[in-house]
Structures are given as structure tokens and as C-alpha cells.
Amino acid sequence: MKAAVLREVNKPLEIEDVQLADPGPREVLVRTVAAGVCHSDLHFQNGSYPYPLPAVLGHESAGVVEAVGSMVNYVKPGDHIITCLSAFCGHCEYCLTGHMSLCQAPELQRAEDESPRIAIGSETVHQFLNLSSFAEYMLVHEHALTKIREDMPMDRAALIGCGVTTGVGAVIHTASVEPGSTVAVIGCGGVGLSCINGAAIAGAARIIAIDRVPSKLDLARKFGATDVINAGDGDPVEAVRELTGGGVHYSFEAIGLKVTTEQSFKMLRRGGTATIIGMIPIGTMIELHGPEFLQERTIQGSNMGSNRFRVDMPRYVEFYLQGKLHLDDMISGRIQLEDVNDALAALEGGEVARNVIMFE
């Protein structure tokens, strides 16, 4: 099968023929139908987050079950599914206390003495974040996917696999945004737009979108933003404070930069909460003014929207079909696997929310 393989950091992905193993116990073979090109893929391509190479990238996807291994009882061939990189074991402390997105049980991958899931001849190719969805097929643990209804369009379903779950989940699960509250979202890419959409669903009274790209700010209004701020026109912290009379109840950083993380904390009102969603590069230190903690401000992280994805994702599908999730506007283009490097370059330029690779 064809797959996009990363062999060297800061080098283009190479379209190669790779082989998948047969499904083993608890494993599911999925025919990939759609895969979103997410900014997180770019972080690994450019080395911000080291990863063993070679690897097939991609982690935001939807497809159809082709075959199952032994002991699989959740899905059957023909089922439509969305994948999720935060696979869960179901019995560790994190899973049993409702924090499934923090599970990192090694049993979800094959052991080192087993044959790899992905290979090129005798060469092992590493599976990316339990998935590797820039490929015509995926071989994954059954706890890395959820069933969805068959009338959900696959290109939109793929977005739920990462960006939507991360953004909406950060609002609803991690921060528990209250109806009538004020919200600021820094960064209007796929995750930021999902944050804005999630805040609207949660009933926030005022939702302020912050970005430097005018077209993204226009798009943010479609997702529920009541106000927009172009960060290139001045200090966004002062602008937020002026709009809200002192700061917001909740802020969300959806870029992954030191400066915007610090800004997300500074734009809070007393008692407010900043939630950091963006992938801040390894080694980056965040500086905050200590006395501001006396105002009972909180800063916290969020991993994949603190999800319970087998519950959340089918609900997000229903939200889309009811017109509450605006996934149609998030897709900048539908491309072929061979166009993946152009899609990654477009993310780096900051002009698009999501390109989606279509395999059929």
C-alpha cells in the first residue's frame, strides 16, 4: 500500500510502498478514507518533538473496518470509524479515574520482540501516535477507534479525530466553560476554531477570537466568535481587557508559543482560567508574574481535550448533523496523498485550517 513516510527531520515526506502485518489479537485493519493534515504532524516533521524514524505520519482520520484480529468484539468489517491517537487500555489508574486521554499503556503497541505493524521489506517503520493515517490502510489497537453512524461524511468525520476533539473537549471537559461566561481563543486554526465552536455550544456569552490572519478571523465569526482581534494591530491583552472590562473568565491558547501562552494568562480576569492546548516546543520555559496568582488565576494544560472519545466523538457527529458543529467551513481543500508536503507547507504559512487527504 502507499504511505507517506518521514525519514529525516525537516525533509519532505516520501510516498513509498509499505507492508502491514496481519491483524493480531485486539487489532483492527482499517481502510483509510480521509485523513486531516494537522499542525501536530508539522511539529514532528520539523523536529520540535523528536520521534523515532522512519515513521508514517498522520493521526486525524476516518475509515472503514476491513478485518479484525482475535479477541476483537467492538467492531466488525464494514463498520465506519473515527480513529483517536489517545488510545486507552481501560484498566490503568488514569482510565479507571476517568482520565483516559492520559493513558500511555505499552500494551497498545506491539512488543519489541513481535513483528512490527508497519514495515518496508525487512525495515521496521514506526507507527505514529498509535495510528499512522497518511496511508491507504491502518493497523491499530481496537481501543484507538470508535464506531460512528454511516451517514456521517468521512472527510468531516476525520476532523473529529483530533482537531475537533481537542478544541471542543478543552472547552467542555478541561475548562468546563459555563453558560454566560466570556472566552478568548488565541489562534484560529483547526483547533482554535473548534474551541470557538465549543464555546458557542457551551453557551458562552462573548467569544473573542485572536489571530494575525484576517481570513481566519472572518472564519472565526462563522464558528461563533462575537468579537475578533487582529494581534498584528496592537497588544491583544489590552484589547481583550478593554472589550471585557477587565479580562475574560476563560482563555485558550491554540498555537503553542511562549508569548501567546503568557498572553493567555495575562488576559484573564480575577479568578479566570487559562487552558493551554497548543504544542509548546520542548525546552520552552513559560514566565508568569508571581503576584498575579494572588488573584486566583489558574493556568492548566489540556491533552486531546481531556476526552472520553468513544462517548464524545459520536456526540460530535450528532452535533454536526444537527448543524451545531461547523465542520464544512473548516476544510480548506481536499487533496491526494501525493500532495501531503504541500499541505504541510500551507500549515507553516498559517493560511489554512485543514487540508484533508481523500483516499477514495
Q: Which residues are catalytic?
A: 38, 40, 43, 59, 162
Burial (CB count within 10 angstroms: exposed 0-12, middle 13-18, buried 19+), residue 63: buried
Other Cβ atoms within 10 Å of 332 Cβ, number: 18
Q: For residue 122, what is its C-alpha cell?
A: 525487512
Q: For residue 79, what is its C-alpha cell?
A: 463498520
Identify which of 236, 210, 207 has the alpha carbon closest to the alpha carbon of residue 223: 207
Report CA dihedral (225, 230, 234, 235) to the nearest 10 degrees.
Answer: 40
In whole angstroms, what is the distance from residue 277 CA to residue 302 CA?
A: 5
Identify which of 254, 247, 219, 217 has the alpha carbon closest to the alpha carbon of residue 232: 217
- Can you list the alpha helix ranges (DSSP code H) found in the chain? 39-45, 93-96, 154-159, 165-169, 190-202, 214-222, 236-244, 258-266, 309-321, 340-349
Q: For residue 255, what is its C-alpha cell?
A: 498555537
